[in-house]
Structure 1
Amino acid sequence: MKKLNRVVVTGTGAITSVGQNSQDFWESCLKGKSGISLIEKNDLQLVGPKYGGQILDFDASQFVKVNDYKKIGRGSNLLIASIYDAIKNANLDSDTYEKADLFVGTTMGEISIETTDYNRYMGISSSENLLDQSFLYTVLANACREFSLQGESMLIANACSAGNYAIIEGYERIRKGEQSICFTAGEDPFSTIAYYGFNRLKAIAASKCKPFDKNRDGMLVAEGAGCLVLEELEHAKARGANILAEVTGYGVSCDAYHITAPHPESAGVIQAMEKAIAKANIELEDIDYISAHGTGTPANDKAESFAVNNLFKKKVPMSSIKSMIGHSMGAASLLEAIVCCNAVNQNIAPPTINFETVDENCEVDCIPNEARQFNIEYAMNNSYAFGGANSSVIFKKFRDN
């Protein structure tokens, strides 16, 4: 039987409302900084909720070098910026990264499709440029053009779990010896469709996202992009890369229960975590920290708390950065993966901010309001999507043995 390769993380990139590079993003998370602000978006009529996680000062001209930033969509610009940040942090040269695979998770792809579909409905002709940006695959095409990528590319439109699924694709490619280096990324621009859709579900908070708090009243729509550079261990060592963490396992499942509501007994969520632990060849008690999905909606937080408490024999520290940046859809679990990598590397976990009142239905250790320093050998990244698409990815502190 062929020996499976070890897969390590050698670079991270992030564009968020609390930091436009991975380092600033991480430091802001540790400080509990909020990136939530009043929503500013052309052609968006606020119907009640007024707050979201927008990147208000993002200047694409400072990041995009090959594409025309004015002609490609905001999602592409965010994605490209996060990949440049990851390349810089991984200290990659073009001869190395041009051979990489690219796996991108997203929910909306580009927001240009919103205007295009409206124009079609109204019988208005759309510009050629707008039509070019009205399909999901354009974010992938623009990123491949920007970096002259020659490897395999794949877009994963698996909603809120998409970032984790992108990591899983890259992990398997390297683990099986089919590739030595991959970019795994997630992106989503602030979406009018998401805003109206979650509002119709009565799932948006009035002003603050308060995961696991008794008085939580919903999520906040956000945007962002994140990227991990995954490498085969020997490939990374050969070029003298700085290794941030190791990916050791994952688990996925589908509830097949309801299009939006979580399974009442969290069966699929528990199954995803169990599969990840088995694949990582560790025990339940080895998990030291969980980056929670933690959307702040009553149903999601209750289901996730139930799953964690029923699976683990101890209260595992867990926190939700959605309390700070909102829910960035396809980028969410990728950004949370960056949190896991830094957590195992630095033995510190960010807080869940806005926490005030304990909920008897969410009796978890959510690291309330202040970051916590403790030994973190293994971190689990949990992410769940509409339709019951559950995913868990496990990151380990890197040890060269």
Structure 2
Amino acid sequence: MGNYETIVITGVGAVTPVGMTAESTWQALLQGVSGARRIKAFDPSEHTCQIGCEVDEIEHLTLHPAPGGRATRLLLPAVEDALHEARLNMEELVKAERRSGICIGTTMGEISPYEEVMNGRQPGSPGGPGVIVEHMRDYFGFNGRCWTITNACAAGNLAIARAMDELMAGRADVMVAAGVDAMSWVAFTGFASLRAMTPDLCRPFDAERKGLMLGEGSGAIVLERESDARQRGAKPLARLMGYGLSSDAHHITQPDPGAWGSIRAMKRAIEMAGISKESIGYVSAHGTGTPANDRMESVALRSVFNDSIVTSSIKGHIGHTLGAASAIEAVVCVKALASGWLPPTINMRRQDPDCPVRVIANEPLAMHTNCIMSNAYAFGGVNSSIIIGRAEVEGQDEWQNQPGKEEAS
């Protein structure tokens, strides 16, 4: 990471359609659990696709009354869990004059109040993208910089990058980076109008894939400078090593088939991390299950890594959670580094020959690696990649020459 101090992850949290915590989500991913079912949030009868991945009983996820609409209530317990794992007490942070902030990525923001108005009802709470971060600031008492990132389906990764910048620039001492989106009629109808959704299961990289499936959820990670974390006795779970961003503006909805923007983002992340591409043993793919996205990402992966990388997508398990997707995937990357297991791409029957990458299909893969890359893309040609590394590695100056070691297949 050049001359910058190491940024570490000291806590993680997640709420997903297959798990109410980061750990239960992780176990469900390894077991191949799918959250797909008929939509309950609204009547989907007018659509060809009537299934998605929703979270049950979010009202019981926190001990205290949660403010705001559904998106806020999805995010709050994930942030609570991440802060708890990091052993951070916000009151103590304030007393110690340590600056704490939060950066939230989202696509739809707090959309439920607007949908209530559309249906002729009085909204129960304020709506909009920025209201979620306001609720988080007031609930937890963050006293530093609070950001909302709305770069659609790459927003989680961009929130992580923004939080990393705040720490490296010395503008914050603790940052929570998060992503959240709730299931909404507006998003569902929008993707349906693009004919981007599958009528059955989401099958990333499969020859018979028919599109994406919408999901909802949240993910959160706590970031600190390593010296600060160790000074207060916190144990780093992983290291946030670098990120890469690009905007190719190829098309408002379709990815660039040449994948040049994605390739640039991956290469920039590797450069910022100060490692070689051989140090990366696994890529958490954006892998939406749409024909164009999966082909584009396969082109990018082969261009950067040739045949040396394994990859998978968890969107068959939890659907495409929009702004939450890459935040949840960052949590999954931390779990993968710690456990030595990589999650599978479920629902695969026959891999698309136009996606010639090494996809982990249907069963988890036992594999220890020092570094993982996670990709996320968004409409308008927004491309993002982050790199997360193990917290402790023997002979760390040899990372450039240590590829991941595959133990089982």
Per the TM superposition, whether the score is higher than 0.5 is yes
What does 1:102-251 correspond to in 2, within 5 Å?
102-115=102-115, 118=118, 127=122, 129-130=123-124, 132-251=125-244
Deviations 1:26-65 (A, max 9, x none): 111111111111111235544111110101x223244162
Separation in structure 2 between the aligned mates of residue 82 and residue 150 of structure 1, nearest angstrom: 19
User: 2 CA distance for matches of 1:61 and 1:281?
Assistant: 43
Q: Partner letter of residue 5 of structure 1?
A: E
Q: Deviations over 1:102-154 (max 9, x none)?
A: 000000011224425526xxxx5x63x54x52222111111111101111101
Q: Which amino acid aligns with 1:112?
A: S
**Count of residue pairs brought into register by the alignment:** 389
- Residue 81 of structure 1 and its aligned partner are, at CA, apart by 1.3
- Alpha-carbon deviation of 1:155? 0.4
- Map of 2:70 onto structure 1: 74
Deviations 1:303-338 (A, max 9, x none): 000110122133311110101000001100000111
Is 2:296 aligned against 1:303? yes
In 2, the alpha carbon distance for the partners of 1:358 and 1:59 equals 36
Name the TM-score, length of structure 2 as normaliser.
Answer: 0.91
Question: What SS does the aligned partner of 1:136 have?
Answer: coil
Q: Distance in 2 between matches of 1:399 and 1:87?
A: 21
What do the CA deviations read for 1:2-49 (whole angstroms, capped 9, x no partner)?
A: 952210001000000110011101111111111111111235544111
Q: Deviations over 1:253-288 (max 9, x none)?
A: 001110100012011000000100111111122211
Question: What residue number does 2:62 align with?
Answer: 63
Runs of 5+ in structure 1 lacking a partner? none
Q: Name 2:337's counterpart in structure 1.
A: 344
Aligned 8 A contact 2:280 2:373 in 1? yes
Distance 2:385 2:346 in 1: 23
Q: Equivalent residue of 1:374, what SS?
A: strand
Which residue type is aligned with residue 40 of structure 1? K
| TM superposition score normalised by structure 1 | 0.93
Instruction: Select 1:93's aligned residue among 89, 95, 107.
Output: 89
- Partners of 1:33 and 1:62 in 2: how far apart? 20
Amino acid at match of 1:52: G
Contact 1:97 1:181 in 2 (8 A): no
What is the match of residue 12 of structure 2? 12
The one-letter code sitting in structure 2 at the alignment partner of 1:164 is: N
When the two chains are superposed, the root-mean-square deviation of aligned CA atoms in Å is 1.8
In structure 2, the gaps of 5 or more residues are 397-409
CA apart distance, 1:399: 2.4
Deviation at 1:241, TM superposition (A): 1.3
2:383 is the counterpart of 1:384 = no
CA separation in 2, counterparts of 1:329 and 1:220?
10
Q: 1:317 aligns with which of 310, 320, 325?
A: 310
Residue matched to 1:38: 38
Query: Judging changes above 3 Å, is the alpha-carbon distance between structure 1 residues 44 and 307 closer, same or farther for their aligned structure 2 residues?
Result: same
* Distance (whole Å) between structure 2 residues aligned to residue 314 and residue 364 of structure 1: 7
Kept in 2, the 8 Å contact 1:64–1:77? The answer is: no
Change (3 A) 1:12 1:97: farther
Distance of 2:93 and 2:21 partners within structure 1: 19
Per the alignment, residue 371 of structure 1 pairs with 364
Counterparts of 1:36 and 1:97 in 2: how far apart (Å)? Answer: 40
Query: Given residue 89 of structure 1, which amino acid in structure 2 is its aligned partner?
Result: E
Match of 1:28 in 2: 28
Q: Distance in 1 between matches of 2:104 and 2:209?
A: 31
CA distance in 2 between counterparts of 1:393 and 1:231 reads 16
1:195 positional shift: 0.8
Trace 1:350-365 onto structure 2 (pairs within 5 A): 350-365=343-358
Report SS of the residue matched to 1:101: strand
